[in-house]
Amino acid sequence: MKRRAVKFILALTALSAIVWFAGELLIGAFINSYAISVIWGIVCLVGCCAYSLWKCPREPEPDDEDDEEE
Name the region of 17 (left: φ>0; alpha: ψ -120 to 50; beta: rest). Answer: alpha
pLDDT of residue 55: 85
C-alpha pair distances (Å), 50 with each of 15, 21, 60: 14, 19, 21
What percent of the chain is predicted at pLDDT more than 90?
A: 59
Q: Give residue 2's pLDDT band: very low, low, confident or very high (50, 70, 90).
A: confident
Write the pLDDT tens digit of every residue in 11-21: 999 999 999 99
pLDDT band of residue 63 (cuts 50, 70, 90) is low
Q: Which H or E element spans position 50?
A: helix 34-55
pTM above 0.85, yes or no: no
- Average pLDDT for the chain: 86
